[in-house]
Structure 1
Amino acid sequence: MTSRQRTGSILVTGAGRGIGRAVAERFLGAGWRVGLFDVDAAAVAEVAAGRPNAVHGALDVRDPDRWGSALQRFCPDGALDVLVNNAGVLASGPFAGIDVDTHRRQVEVNVTGVVLGARTGHAYLRRAPRGLLLNLCSASALYGQPTLATYGATKAAVKSLTEALDLEWRGDGLRVRSLVPLFVDTEMVTRDGVGMAPVKALGVRLVPADVAAAAWRVVHERVALPRSPHRTVGRQTRVLAAASSVSPDWLNRLVVGRIGA
Structure 2
Amino acid sequence: MQSIFISGAGQGIGAAIARLFVQQGYKVGLYDINQSQVTSLAAELGSHAKAGLLDVTQPEQWQSALAEFVAWAGQLNILVNNAGILYSGSFEHTELSAHHRTIDINVKGVINGCYAAFPYLQQSNFARVINLSSASAIYGQADLASYATSKFAVRGFTESLDIEWQKYNIRVLDVMPLFVQTAMVQDMDAQSIKKMGVNLQPSDVAQQIYALVQKKDTVLMATHTPVGMKAKFLFNLSKFSPQFVNRLSNIWIAQKPK
Task: Please classify the TM superposition score into its range, dividing by the shorter chain length.
Answer: over 0.9
Match in the other structure for 2:113: 117
Structure 1 window deviating more from structure 2 (76-85 vs 98-107): it is 76-85
Aligned counterpart for 1:141 among listed residues 137, 141, 150? 137
Match in the other structure for 1:127: 123
- Where is the helix percentage greater, Structure 1 or Structure 2? 2
Q: Is the 8 A contact 1:78 1:124 kept in 2?
A: no
Give CA deviations for 1:187-246 in whole Å, capped at 9, x if unaligned.
00124xx23200000100000000000010000112255343011111111111111111
Question: Following superposition of structure 1 onto structure 2, how do residues 154-165 of structure 1 map, counting pairs within 5 Å?
Answer: 154-165=150-161
Q: Offset of 1:86 from its aligned partner? A: 0.2
Residues 1:67 and 2:62 are matched in the alignment: yes
Paired residue type of 2:126? R
Identity of matched residues, %: 40
Give CA deviations for 1:6-62 in whole Å, capped at 9, x if unaligned.
x41000000000000000110011121000000000110111014101110110000
Unaligned runs of 5+ in 1: 1-6
Match in the other structure for 1:53: 48
Aligned residues: 253
Q: Structure 1 CA distance, aligned partners of 2:218 and 2:113?
A: 27
Q: Is the 8 A contact 1:110 1:155 kept in 2?
A: yes
Q: Is the 8 A contact 2:80 2:131 kept in 1?
A: yes
Unaligned runs of 5+ in 2: none
Q: Is the 8 A contact 2:142 2:190 kept in 1?
A: no
Residues 1:237 and 2:228 are matched in the alignment: no
Match in the other structure for 2:189: 195
Q: Structure 1 CA distance, aligned partners of 2:186 and 2:133?
A: 18
Give CA deviations for 1:103-152 in whole Å, capped at 9, x if unaligned.
01000000000000011111111111120011000000011111001100
TM-score (norm 1): 0.94
Match in the other structure for 2:220: 226
Q: Is the 8 A contact 1:78 1:127 kept in 2?
A: no
Residues 1:11 and 2:1 are matched in the alignment: no
Q: Is the 8 A contact 2:10 2:34 kept in 1?
A: yes
Match in the other structure for 1:25: 19
Structure 1 window deviating more from structure 2 (219-228 vs 17-26): it is 219-228
CA 161–123 in structure 1, closer or farther in 2 if over 3 Å, else same:
same
Match in the other structure for 1:3: none
Q: Is the 8 A contact 1:33 1:54 kept in 2?
A: yes
**Structure 1 runs, 4 residues or longer, greater than 6 Å off:** none
SS in 1 for 2:17: helix
TM-score (norm 2): 0.95
**CA root-mean-square deviation:** 1.2
Match in the other structure for 1:169: 165
Paired residue type of 2:155? K
